[in-house]
Amino acid sequence: MSTAREQPIFSTRAHVFQIDPATKRNWIPAGKHALTVSYFYDATRNVYRIISLGGAKAIINSTVTPNMTFTKTSQKFGQWADSRANTVYGLGFASEQHLTQFAEKFQEVKEAARLAREKSQDGGELTSPALGLTAHQVPPSPLVSSNGPGDEKLFRSQSADAPGPAERERLRKMLSEGSVGEVQWEAEFFALQDSNNKLAGALREANAAAAQWRQQLEAQRAEAERLRHRVAELEAQAATAEPPAVSEKEGPGQALEQLEALVQTKDQEIQTLKSQTGGPREAPDSAEREETQQKVQTRNAELEHQLRATERSLEEARVERERARAEVGRAAQLLDVRLFELSELREGLARLAEGTP
């Protein structure tokens, strides 16, 4: 592509597509990343072209004619047909504003191309009212950046006072020779900037994830420590609750044996009294026997009451012990789960530390 007489008048970045020549329906992307798409003006021939370079190869080299039409097919995508190249070009922009700016510039260039054709047919001076350029004056000023939203950048030329013919020719030649390299450098710059932004975003996400994992690790450690203390307390309670249960279990048995021995003793005493007593003393003996029986019954009632109380205490102690054991089991299971999660967090932090440069 020869750009000895051409100057870029507008540049933007977009994803470039071409229609599939076989199906005439599907789009074929020109690359994975956005490319710089520029409007060039040839002051000598009064011709406008849309050019996009992919490395050293011209992806788009389309001469704008008055018959061309740029169509917006969505909020961020537009296309136009080039009959000379026998293809259809498509551009995907980062925002609707960039698409609108490119479409407006396309209309301006199209109108300028129409006026230039009419002027050339009339034989007058070739002028471009839409862009303020003439065939005898090429803007010698360098490109001036006009930043749009996001990371996309648009460029426009800035007019300056025209120097002498020799100086103007020298400046025009220098700028023309450097225009292609400048577009390539600009494309490389945007590619490096995109890569740098992606790496910075990944690093920020990794740092945020590491901080969150550290917080989770501290919380897991605190929870594990609390569970250890709880398990120790429950084990101590279970250890202190079991011996009294055994003693209470032995207590009723001893009391029952004592009661039976006392009953036997009283029965023996009654039999002895019966054998020793005669007729005249039968009434006193009966009274004494009844008194003894009442005492024995009273003692039996007291012992039965103590036995029932002891059995209730034993049952309550057994239920409490079972509850304590169940709680200890649940706490132990929860502790195992927390320790497993803690080990997974440690492994994740270790992998993150190894993978972070």
Lowest mean pLDDT among 48-52, 89-93, 105-109, 256-260: 256-260
Instruction: Please state which CATH number belongs to domain 8-118.
Output: 2.30.29.30
Per-residue pLDDT, 260: 78
The structural domains of the chain, with segments of one domain joined by +, span: 8-118
Lowest mean pLDDT among 4-13, 81-90, 130-139, 243-252: 130-139
Assigned token pair, 181: 């390299």
150 against 42, higher pLDDT: 42
User: What value does the mean pLDDT take over residues 260-279?
Assistant: 75
Element (H, E) at 222: helix 165-276
pLDDT confidence bin for 290, thresholds 50/70/90:
confident
Q: What is the 3-state secondary structure (H, E, C) of 162-219?
A: CCCHHHHHHHHHHHHHHHHHHHHHHHHHHHHHHHHHHHHHHHHHHHHHHHHHHHHHHH
CB contact burial 38-73 (16+ within 10 A = b; e otherwise): bbbbbbeebbbbbbbbbeeeebbbbbbbeebebeee
Assigned token pair, 208: 């945020």
Contact 109, 64 (CB under 8 A): yes
- The DSSP bridge pattern shows strands 47-54 and 133-134 to be unpaired
The tokens 């909020």 sit on which residue? 75
| Average pLDDT taken over every residue of the chain | 76
Per-residue pLDDT, 70: 93
